[in-house]
Amino acid sequence: MTDALLIIEDEPLFGGELAYHYRREGWEVVHVRDLAQARALLKARQPDPLVVLSDMSLPDGNALDLLQSAREGGPAAEWVFLTGYGGVADSVRALRLGAYDFLEKPCDLTRLDLVVAGAARSARAQRRLQDEAAERNRRFPVDAFVGSSEAAQRVRDMLGRLAQVPFSALLLSGETGTGKGLAARILHHSGARRAGPLVEINCAALPRELLESELFGVEPGAFTGAKGRRRGLFEQAHGGTLFLDEIGELSLDLQAKLLKVIEDRCLRRLGGSGEIQVDLQIVAASNRNLSEQVREGKFRADLFHRLGVFTLELPPLRSRMEDVADLVPLFVAEFNAKAAKSVRTVPETVWERLRAYPWPGNVRELRNVVERCVLLADSELFPARWLQLEAEPAVAAATSADRSGREGLWLPLDGSVTLDDMDRFIIKSALGRAHDNVTAAARLLGTTRQTLRYRVQKYGLKSDD
């Protein structure tokens, strides 16, 4: 496809010479003589110029005003200005508005060719970045949080609301594998800061000394081995979003520094004396109960309340088991494409096992299981042999009776079953014997209806409550 060049020049002879020259160079050239025609072409994007070569002063105004309005939207184009009597003020304003170059007439054609070629390379690079950002935005819409359950719909509704407000900090909570990273990417790519960078860091993956330098940056000589200046993640996220995963792992002194950045919008590099202004939004996530950590003195109360202005809790997969039917085909299609497989059919026996498993690792564990099965599949049938749901057969405990004839349950005590799995199986068995009546099941277990109802919701069990 031929690149387009828009020439805005009111002198017919000079403009015609430029148009003739650049057509011979392989450009699609459009020549107009005033700002009104240029404004109409840019608005309609017919053509969509890669480079604009413009006179500064035109019969109906200053071309800098058109540049200012053109910068507000549309694909990136580089502007090169030519003028016979431009002043310092105009050249300074042109560069501040993002003009690529400012040349005085008469201009050597060889030099002009070099400038136009450089402007074209710059515009192509900017458009590639815009296309990549648009692709990321398409990958992470609000609907990327998949699920038809009521819990998933509530999360999507909240994500849509949060993406529309200019929050400074937000807290995501939930168990490991529930999709906190996905929620952070949705909030960034669907929000007002989607044009800026998204910088992610796992606070549990780095030691405290290294984490501080990663977050705030380093000046030369700040410590032994610090030979050069390095921008921290806060600076790198300027204009965008910083995602702090596992924020509960931050030490108390780093929590204090983080609170200062959120409140004052400035930071100081390690070993630095001056403060640096930053403009960003912070999304923090933790699989720990931060309110409990506040009570234990392990997390600062002021930071918790500052982050908790907006809080979104992501539900575990066991509390929205109906979403397994939505997630599995999605993961199958993903890994079919990655591994050139053609898995099409999931047998009913596999669905039963998937729905019966408690998924302690949540959506991440489900995705890993589907990946293993698809990669090892030999046909279009989803292979049940590679599910390897270790806790599943162990929890399928049998009923038994003691010598007095009273019925009970048998559970293995060899370490193969977790306490939560035992708890879930006991409650599920009691509900089955009570025909899913919570009150009757609570009576069988010797507990209260409220306690049992909480555990039924926790494990995603069905009842007639």
Q: Tokens at residue 436, please?
A: 């899913």
pLDDT for the residue numbered 87: 64
Cis peptide before 106 (omega within 30 of 0): yes
171-205: burial string, b at 16+ Cβ within 10 Å, e else: bbbbbebbbbbbbbbbbbbbbebbebbbbbbebee
Distances (CA, A) of 197 to 77, 132, 140, 159: 21, 12, 14, 19
pLDDT for the residue numbered 426: 87
Q: What is the CATH number of domain 4-136?
A: 3.40.50.2300
pLDDT for the residue numbered 174: 92
Domains 4-136 and 317-389 share a fold: no
Alpha carbon 380 to its chain centroid, in Å, reads: 33
pTM: 0.63
Alpha carbon 16 to its chain centroid, in Å, reads: 49
Bridge partners of residue 31, in order along the sequence:
7
pLDDT for the residue numbered 463: 60
Bridge partners of residue 455, in order along the sequence:
none
Architecture of domain 317-389: Orthogonal Bundle (1.10)
How confident is the model over 371-389, as a mean pLDDT? 92
Name, in order, each residue with C-beta under 8 angstroms of 385's C-beta and a sequence gap of 6 or more: none
Angle formed by the axes of helices 449-458 and 438-445, nearest 10°? 110
The CATH homologous superfamily of the domain defined by 148-313: P-loop containing nucleotide triphosphate hydrolases (3.40.50.300)
Question: Look-up: residue for tokens 């000394």?
Answer: 209
Question: Look-up: residue for tokens 């960003």?
Answer: 280
Cis peptide before 59 (omega within 30 of 0): no
Q: What is the domain partition of the chain in residue ranges? A: 4-136, 148-313, 317-389, 394-458
Classify 394-458 by CATH class: mainly alpha
Asked whether the beta carbons of 115 and 79 are under 8 A apart, the reply is no
The per-residue pLDDT for range 326-375, each reduced to its tens digit, is: 999 999 999 999 999 999 999 999 999 999 898 988 999 999 999 999 99
pLDDT band at residue 134 using 50, 70 and 90 as cut-offs: low
pLDDT for the residue numbered 462: 65
pLDDT for the residue numbered 139: 75
Residue percentage of the chain with pLDDT more than 90: 46
Nearest Cα residue to 34 out of 73, 61, 67 = 61
